[in-house]
Amino acid sequence: MTIFIAGATMMSVSMGARQAQGLLIGPLSTVREWPLATFSMAVAVHNLMWGLFQPFTGAAADRWGAAKVAAVGAFAFGLGMVMVATGGSWQTVIGLGVLSGFGLAATSFSVVLGPIGRAVSAEHRTVALGMGSAMGSLGMMLLIPVTQEMITVFGPVRAIWGLSFLSFASIPMAMLLHKGEKAVLAAPAERGQQSIKEALKQASCDNGYRFLAAGFFVCGFQLAFIGVHLPGYLALCGMNKGAGATALLVIGGFNVIGTYGMGKLSQRYPPKYVLSAIYLGRAIATFLFAVGPKNEFTLLLFAAT
C-alpha cells in the first residue's frame, strides 16, 4: 500500500501538471506577447523528450531503484517549470521541453508502474497497474480546475510557480516509494544482466512489441494534441473560456473509470482486443466531434467518450 500511495501521488502531480499545459498556452503567450508557436514548440519538445527518456529512466530505475530516479525526476520537472516562469522563449523550450520532459519520464509510467506491479500478486497485477495509471488522470482532475483558477486569479506566470512548487513538494513521496520498494526489489544477484541495448534489440524483434509501440504512437499523438490544443480550438469555435478546462476535467474523470474498467476487462479477454476496441472507439469519437456541431452537450459527450 505504501508504494502504491507514493507512486500514485507522484504520477498525479506530474501527469496533472502536464495536462495543465493546454490551459497555459494561450494566457502565457498573451502575457509575454509570444506567437502561439513558441509555447507549442516547447510542448512538442516536452512530449518528444518524455518518450525519448522513458527507456533510460526505466533502466535506471531497475538498476538504482525507482525512488532515486523519481526524486531526481520531480526535481527536474520543478526546475523546468521555474525556468518557464522566469525565462524567455529559449528558457521555456529548455525548461518545459527538456527538463520537464525528462522529469515526466522519471515520475510516470516507466518508473512508477514497475514497483507497483511487483508489489502485488500476478492475478491482481493488471488491476493494480490500471489503478496506478488512473492516478495520472486523478491528478488531472485535481490540477486542471486548480490551475484554471490560479490563471484567472493570479495570472499564468504565478500558476506556473504553483505547479513547480507542487513538483518539488512531491519529492518526499520518493522516500516512501523507497520504503515500499525495499520489499519488492530483487537482490542484485537475482536481477537480469541484460543491457539497455540488448533489451531494445530483443523488443524490436518482437511483432507484438512493434504493433504495441505503433499503437501507443498514435495514442500519444491524439492525447497530446487534445490536451494541448483543445482549449484553444474550443475558443476558436466560440465557446467560453472555461470550456477547455471543463473538457479536460471530464476526460480525466472518465479516464479514471475507464482505466479501471479496461483493467478488469483485460482479465477476461485478450488485452490486444481490448486495446484495439479502445483505439477504434477513440477514432470514431474524434472524427464525429471534428465534423459535428460544437456545443456544451457534444463537448461533454466527446470528453466522456
Answer yes or no: are the C-beta atoms of 168 and 99 closer than 8 Å: no
Task: For residue 56, give the nearest of 117, 129, 105, 116 by alpha carbon.
Answer: 105
Of 105-109, 179-183, 195-199, 217-221, least confident by mean pLDDT is 179-183
Residue 194 one-letter amino acid: Q
49 pLDDT band (50/70/90 cuts)? very high
pLDDT mean across residues, the chain: 82
179 pLDDT band (50/70/90 cuts)? low
Over residues 143-159, mean pLDDT? 90
46 pLDDT band (50/70/90 cuts)? very high
Q: Is the pLDDT of residue 154 over 90?
A: yes
Topology adopted by domain 2-187+206-304: Growth Hormone; Chain: A; (1.20.1250)
- In angstroms, the CA 195 to CA 233 distance is 44
Across 16-25, 111-120, 158-167, 279-288, which has the greatest mean pLDDT?
Answer: 158-167
Q: What pLDDT, in 10s, does the model give residues 98-150?
A: 999 999 999 987 788 777 777 666 666 666 777 777 766 777 778 888 888 99
Q: Which residues touch 36 (CB under 8 Å, ≥6 apart)? A: 25, 26, 29, 232
Q: What is the 3-state secondary structure (H, E, C) of the chain?
A: CHHHHHHHHHHHHHHHHHHCHHHHHHHHHHHCCCCHHHHHHHHHHHHHHHHHHHHHHHHHHHHHCHHHHHHHHHHHHHHHHHHHHHCCHHHHHHHHHHHHHHHHHHHCHHHHHHHHHHCCCHHHHHHHHHHHHHHHHHHHHHHHHHHHHHHHHHCHHHHHHHHHHHHHHCHHHHHHHHHHHCCCCCCHHHCCCCCHHHHHHHHHCCHHHHHHHHHHHHHHHHHHHHHHHHHHHHHHCCCCCCHHHHHHHHHHHHHHHHHHHHHHHHHHCCHHHHHHHHHHHHHHHHHHHHHCCCCHHHHHHHHHC
Q: What pLDDT, in 10s, does the model give residues 200-240?
A: 788 778 887 888 788 777 777 777 778 778 888 888 888 88
C-alpha cell at 47: 512530449
pLDDT at 187: 45
Q: Whole-model pTM?
A: 0.78
Inter-CA distances, 303 with 54, 132, 153, 252, Å: 27, 21, 26, 9
Task: For residue 12, give the nearest of 95, 126, 136, 131 by alpha carbon.
Answer: 136
Report CA dihedral (215, 217, 223, 228) to the nearest 10 degrees.
-170
C-alpha cell at 241: 473560456
Q: What pLDDT, in 10s, does the model give residues 262-297?
A: 877 887 888 888 888 888 888 898 899 989 898 889
Residue 121 one-letter amino acid: S
